[in-house]
Amino acid sequence: MRIDIVTIFPAFFDVLDVSLIGKARDRGILDMHVHDLRDWTHDRHRTVDDTPYGGGAGMVMKPEPWGEALDELLAEDSVLVVPSPAGELFSQRMARALADESHLVFACGRYEGIDQRVVDHYSARGRVRLVSLGDYVLNGGEVAATAVVEAVSRLVPGVVGNPESLVEESHEDGLLEYPSYTKPPVWRDREVPPVLLSGNHGAIAAWRREQSLERTRQNRPDLLT
Ligand code: 6GU
């Protein structure tokens, strides 16, 4: 999979050099490129923002640098992903859909967002997804794009070593994941639930299912309705 990220803060994406994502890049499974939006400006101050029409607080990202950047990076088969608190809620389902694509381009806006005509223009010509991480506000799309890149790329075949570790996780079956334990069997007077030491695989599966349901009832009752 190829991933291009356009941002005015390329350093935000240095974290994608480490861990499993970094290894997948080293092995050529992920072909990831981070671009500075200011490389598509032409004035001395490399201006990317301006005051909003209609007034109000903050600045809006100008459409021209975005148009030049995205004209260069988008191809026929690309999906443009625009992180925005006004977007569709990101989910494991959306991560799976994006993991099937061959090319994702992330447009990370700052300030009060990007001139709406940019999304309108590329929506009329190709596939665009406005994606929100949740009901809170970040300063820009960079942290959200990092989360989306990680959630998507770990579903790309070969990125996560053991594909079985992908199926038993939170949200893959619509429930939260059951709790996990490892050695020692007793730690600070707390025992590992005995069923996990029983060797009875049917009983273990049933216990884990009940734990998943209970956690979901406690923390995310909305997922059960
Ligand atoms: Cl995608 N962007 C921003 N700026 N804030 C957010 C978000 C995205 N998702 C939740 N909050």
Centroid of ligand 1 to alpha carbon of 13 (angstroms): 16
The neighbouring-strand residues paired with 127 are 79
133 is in an annotated binding site: yes
Is the distance from CB of 4 to CB of 73 less than 8 angstroms? yes
Residue 72's H or E segment, with its range, is helix 63-73
28 is in an annotated binding site: no
Condensed to tens digits (0 to 9), the pLDDT of residues 203-213 reads: 999 999 999 99
The neighbouring-strand residues paired with 130 are 82
pLDDT at position 161 is 81
Q: Which atom of ligand 1 is nearest to the CA of 87?
A: 1
CA 189 to chain centre: 39
Angle at 142 between CA 141 and CA 143, to 5 degrees: 100
Condensed to tens digits (0 to 9), the pLDDT of residues 94-129 reads: 999 999 999 999 999 986 899 999 999 999 999 999
Condensed to tens digits (0 to 9), the pLDDT of residues 67-86 reads: 999 999 999 999 999 999 99
Centroid of ligand 1 to alpha carbon of 146 (angstroms): 11
Centroid of ligand 1 to alpha carbon of 185 (angstroms): 42
Residue with tokens 């992180």: 83
With 0.80 as the threshold, say if the pTM is over it: yes
Question: Residue 130's CB: how many other CB atoms inside 10 A?
Answer: 15
